[in-house]
């Protein structure tokens, strides 16, 4: 269990940091307004669009990756053990 927690936490921290860096560069119009969740640039260049796409992917990877290692894999192992114990 500790191994899954460490992997999920590593994914959450690493992908979350990447998302925060990209969101800080492109989605923070000023320090007095919305930060990290501001409006997307109206006319981003090619590199800005690539960075924003990577930022969105990192955001969802952080959430879904952590939930996978913290919930889905342990529940799957418990279900598999329960099915094997009932069939024996």
* Domain ranges (residues) in the chain: 2-87
Tell the residue number behind the tokens 């913290």, with chain if given: 70
For 63, the token pair is 């959430």
Written as tens digits, the pLDDT of the chain (88 aa) is 788 999 999 999 999 999 999 999 998 888 887 788 888 888 889 999 999 999 999 999 999 999 999 999 999 999 999 999 998 7
Q: What is the pLDDT of residue 25?
A: 92
Please answer whether residues 40 and 26 qualify as being in contact, where contact means their C-beta atoms are separated by less than 8 angstroms: yes
Phi and psi torsions of 40, nearest 5°: -70, 150
Q: What is the pLDDT of residue 87?
A: 86
């Amino acid at each position: 269990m500790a191994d899954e927690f460490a992997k999920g936490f590593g994914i959450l921290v690493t992908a979350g940091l990447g998302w925060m860096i990209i969101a800080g560069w492109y989605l923070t119009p000023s320090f007095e307004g919305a930060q990290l969740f501001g409006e997307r640039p109206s006319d981003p260049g090619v590199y800005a669009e690539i960075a924003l796409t990577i930022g969105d992917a990192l955001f969802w990877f952080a959430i879904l990756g952590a939930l996978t290692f913290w919930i889905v894999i342990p529940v799957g192992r418990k279900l598999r053990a329960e099915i094997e114990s009932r069939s024996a």
